[in-house]
Amino acid sequence: MGQFDKAVELLKNNLANSIVELKVPRSRKAYVFLKPEKHRDAISLLLKQVEDTIISTITGTDLGNEIELNYHMICGGTVTLKIRVPKIKPVTKSICDLISGANLYEREVYDLLGVTFEGHPNMERLLLPESWPKGNYPLRRDWKAPENQEDIFVSEEAPKPKSVSGASESLVNVIVGPQHPVLHEPERFSFTLDGERVVDVDARLGYVHRGIEKAAETMMYFQDVYLVERICGICNAAHTTVFCQAVEDIANVETPPRAQYYRTIIHELNRIHSHLLLLGVAGHLLGFESLFQHVWRDREPVMDIVERITGNRLMSGFNTIGGVRRDIAPSTIEKTLKTLKDVRKRADFYKKVFEEDATLRMRTEGVGVLSRKDALKLCVVGPVLRASGVASDVRKDDPYAAYGEIPFNVISYNECDTWARLMVRADEVLESINIVEYALDNLPEGKIRVRVQRKIPEGEAVSRVEAPRGELIHYVKSDGSAYPYRVKVRAPTLANLMAFPDAIKGGFVADIPSVMGSLDPCFSCTDRMAFIQLNSDQKWHWSLDEVNNQKKQEGAYLVGT
């Protein structure tokens, strides 16, 4: 019996009186509706009885008079545990004492839906600004965007140094961000230092949150494919794949085999150029500038392949609900295979650099250690998890697209440090090249997509893929219309961010950039659009609907997205 079947049987046998409904509509996917406050019993049971169980995220859904909380547990598949709380004064018990990795997910639900989790160690805002009006919860169905008032956004106060047991009395706070030369995206970190040692760190998110989940409710499913693609330029194919899979799951659509291979190919090309980007950035953060320049130069041919196949370097627009939008010509396949041979030679060379360069190893070995036990407790994902000795990969654990037919190895290292996290990516570049070559050599014949009606039947689906940074999960709920009732996205960075304080505590200030870089964070999410009238310096903000309804005005330029 596999882990997933074991988990379902455990719930049936031990919590029969607490289960209202249990459904297993697809292989390795279960939905368990529990009586109020029984989620802790179910989660405790899975954590104790099913090895390496983690939580992917928590989805809150406004059902009218109640808010439904979906705890997406990963144990050989996805077991979604559901409870409901009243919409007026919604309160339930926290699970952070059972699994630390739920910390940010409970804060997210509190911030955007107003559910309070009793016993949470830090029940504060996660994404919205501190000046956000109290009682305004943007993911509730009856929420309306207030008129923008510039003066309600106030400056944040600098955090005060914390009192840390065992540290000297001369603690110093160093604020990095949200705008800082080291950070390529806006984010704020408050480091508490004892001399050169880091004794604590707090992260503040949400400076450019775009509210894409809310926007998705106002657009039709086929439009949302292009919306979710813009969550991340690098992982664009991962987001469209996982979203299309969720909708196809609800609509019971079988995607043609040829399209599944194409999705795999574009997905792996995403992974290759994402990992090469990070390996180059690692060289930059460690002062190895020539490595940075060379790796980024050799990443360009991969971007050229993506452009040749899809027509664009970043926003490929390749996936659609029911398949893919383009076939690949035989001449393009021939050129792609030839280019990949050259990329493989360079990737082999860079792997040797990370293996053999003495200075690089001195700066990364034993630095930013995240043990296997802590990685599982914090529910980290992707290369960060695999570098801590856990050979977990959605492509192998819960195969999607064509991964169930293509042979490949799951890369893992037991060193648990910054070096291991870089080596996982160096090896995975080579493994991804193998996957693309195999897929191109074994392409099935046939259609590349099937027609899907605009109205999607009532239902729900959880979809997961292995994005370059780790497990990416989308939850989609349909009410039978052409518009999704709820779209939930958990990108891998939110899961891995929990690990940063544990990895950097006790380390040196000089190691902060490399440790953070080895987590490969991506904070590309924005929440507002600001416009400036250049002639008068007038500034204003529009909602997405207002943007769509406005004609382009002369002299107005978008300055933030």
Torsion of CA 176, 180, 181, 183, to 10 degrees: 70
SS3 466: strand
The pLDDT value recorded for residue 558 is 36
- The pLDDT of residue 56 is above 50: yes
What is the band of 525 on the pLDDT scale with cuts at 50, 70, 90?
very low
Return the exposure string of 57-87: e unless at least 16 CB atoms fall within 10 Å of the residue's CB, then b: bbbbbbeeeebbbbbbbbbbbbbbbbbbbeb
Pairing mode, if any, of strands 556-558 and 538-542? unpaired
What type of residue sits at position 371?
S
Query: For residue 393, with 0-12 CB atoms within 10 Å meaning exposed, 13-18 middle and 19 or more buried, which class applies?
Result: buried
The pLDDT value recorded for residue 111 is 93
User: DSSP secondary-structure letter at 220?
Assistant: -
- Rg of the chain, C-alpha, whole Å: 23
Helix or strand run (H / E) with residue 54: strand 54-62
d(CA 492, CA 74): 14
Mean pLDDT of 188-201: 88
The per-residue DSSP string of 468-493 comes to: TTEEEEEEEEE-SSSSEEEEEEE-HH
Neighbouring residues of 482: CB distance < 8 A, sequence distance ≥ 6:
220, 221, 454, 455, 456
Q: How far is CA 339 from CA 73, 165, 425, 437, in A?
A: 40, 56, 20, 11
Spatial strand order in the sheet of 484-490: 459-467, 470-478, 484-490
The pLDDT value recorded for residue 516 is 86
Residue with tokens 């309600």: 152
Helix or strand run (H / E) with residue 381: none
Mean pLDDT of 502-517: 88
- The pLDDT of residue 480 is above 50: yes
- The pLDDT of residue 528 is above 60: no
What is the band of 25 on the pLDDT scale with cuts at 50, 70, 90?
very high
d(CA 488, CA 18): 26
Cβ neighbours, 10 Å, residue 453: 12
Whether a cis peptide bond, with omega within 30° of 0, leads into 383 is: no
**Which tops the pLDDT comparison, 201 or 118?**
118
Of 116-130, 175-189, 420-434, which gets the smallest average pLDDT?
A: 175-189
d(CA 420, CA 389): 9
Neighbouring residues of 316: CB distance < 8 A, sequence distance ≥ 6:
229, 236, 237, 266, 306, 309, 310
d(CA 435, CA 396): 13
d(CA 513, CA 133): 35
What is the band of 397 on the pLDDT scale with cuts at 50, 70, 90?
very high
For the chain, the average pLDDT equals 88
474 phi/psi in degrees, rounded to 5: -120, 140
Contact, 69 vs 63, CB < 8 A? Answer: no
The pLDDT value recorded for residue 551 is 44
The pLDDT value recorded for residue 84 is 96
What type of residue sits at position 434?
N
- The pLDDT of residue 77 is above 70: yes
Could you tell me which of 415, 414, 417, 413 has the C-alpha nearest to residue 369? 417
Pairing mode, if any, of strands 323-324 and 538-542? unpaired
Helix or strand run (H / E) with residue 319: strand 319-320
